[in-house]
Amino acid sequence: MIKFTTAGESHGRALVATVEGLPAGMPVDLGFINNELERRQWGYGRGGRMKIEQDQVEILSGVRHGLTLGSPLALVIENKDWQNWTEVMAVEPRDIDPEKSRRLKRPRPGHADLAGGQKFDARDLRNVLERASARETAARVACGALAKQLLVAFGAEIRSHVVQLGGIPDVPLELSWDQLAAIPEDAPLRCADLKIQQRMIESIDQRREAGDTLGGIFEVVARGLLPGLGSHTAWDLKLDGRLAQAVMSIPAVKAVAIGAGTEASSLPGSEIHDEIAYNSETKEFIRETNRAGGLEGGVTNGEEVRIRGYMKPLSTLRRPLRSVDIDTKQDEPAGFERSDITAVPAAGVVAESMVALVLASAMKDKFGGDSLGEMKRNFEGYREQLRGY
């Protein structure tokens, strides 16, 4: 199993992460990790903070001369904005002028502020905001970039794209791997259809003017996976469940769908299940359709894994919603500092990382091994087994 933990506050000194379970001897490309971090920062509709941060990872342990050692990796990503928050976010006790304390006491509807404050008995909701902030996802992307490097060693790749933003288009886009592979990295919204992307941009501009925010749907696609990852034998081993949890854990994601997703509940079985065929040349069982999204019974079936995340609009609104001051209990507008208008393309990149971590973990469960070489031998042995099946 591959385990990772992140720590760090949005305006604290740094984000940190540890990753355990990667096999020894796996190449680690720092440039690749940093490129993934840059991809997450990209996207039309981001706010002022993204002009301050230039996320770069530093690896403190677990890698020597470009290869993993099999020991835990420790990662650090500096928060450049911390320079502006050294007093407010100081580790040592401080007596700060209440005017300068940046205390939050008017919780934002939709954010973790109020529920988290009640839970932790925090009278300054900043104590909740700082960790609930999606800033934390930068650390996940650094971990996910390592998982991607493991998957690449086994011929698997992962991409994401935006299929709907703020309800545009009416019906979410459905694209082949080749179509989404053709999306340029600098596409403002990681959307394959230029006309639709332009309409999305206009909608973001309108919402910005209105002091509002927008959600949307992203899709993650993973291909090159053998059948047999995950397991039908126990609820917590089912890969669809593990993927759903991983994607649902991304801030603002309110629903997750695999393959045809919710449509599968309204169509008859004859229109949903993917009929099975056999390719005698490649000696592979195949499906001509992929409404199952690459997963049957919680196990990969060799088709592309397709998973969608439905993201609600961000809960920090320049034109704030009604809230209540936690001191006075009087109606007050919710707090506002600065915010993104939308972050759906960024959430797609975070979801790629989360999916990569779950898939890499499932690969490790199936093929085991302490070194990459051992894992590859086990993988090849299984591939041989499949050819003879």
Length of the chain: 389
List the structure tokens of 311: 């993201």
138, 165, 317, 372: which one contacts ligand EPS (CB under 6 A)?
138
Contact pattern for ligand EPS over residues 44 through 63, marking x by CB under 6 A = ---x-x---x----------
- Examine residue 240 and tell whether it contacts ligand EPS (CB under 6 A): no
Q: Nearest CA to 141 among 27, 26, 42, 280?
A: 42
Q: Which stretch binds ligand EPS (CB under 6 A): 18-26, 241-249, 282-290, 336-344?
A: 336-344
- Examine residue 133 and tell whether it contacts ligand EPS (CB under 6 A): yes
Q: Strand 295-296 to strand 284-287: parallel, antiparallel, or no bridges (unpaired)?
A: unpaired
List the structure tokens of 186: 């600098």
- Examine residue 135 and tell whether it contacts ligand EPS (CB under 6 A): yes
**Rg from Cα positions in the chain:** 22
- Examine residue 321 and tell whether it contacts ligand EPS (CB under 6 A): no
Please identify, using beta-carbon distances, which residue of 129 and 360 lies nearer to ligand EPS. 129
Please identify, using beta-carbon distances, which residue of 251 and 259 lies nearer to ligand EPS. 251
- Examine residue 10 and tell whether it contacts ligand EPS (CB under 6 A): yes
- Examine residue 134 and tell whether it contacts ligand EPS (CB under 6 A): yes
Measure Cα distances from 286 to 222, 324, 360 in Å. Answer: 16, 56, 23
Contact pattern for ligand EPS over residues 281 through 320, marking x by CB under 6 A = -----------------------------------x----
Please identify, using beta-carbon distances, which residue of 52 and 267 lies nearer to ligand EPS. 52
- Examine residue 340 and tell whether it contacts ligand EPS (CB under 6 A): yes
Residue 282: CB atoms within 10 Å: 9
Min separation Cβ 156 and ligand EPS, Å = 26
Give the total of residues touching ligand EPS (CB under 6 A). Answer: 14
Among all chains, which residue has been given the structure tokens 């991304």? 250
Chain position whose Cβ is nearest to ligand EPS: 49
Q: Which stretch binds ligand EPS (CB under 6 A): 24-32, 60-68, 272-280, 335-343?
A: 335-343
Min separation Cβ 81 and ligand EPS, Å = 6
User: What residues make contact with ligand EPS under the rule CB under 6 A?
Assistant: 10, 47, 49, 53, 81, 133-135, 138, 316, 337-340
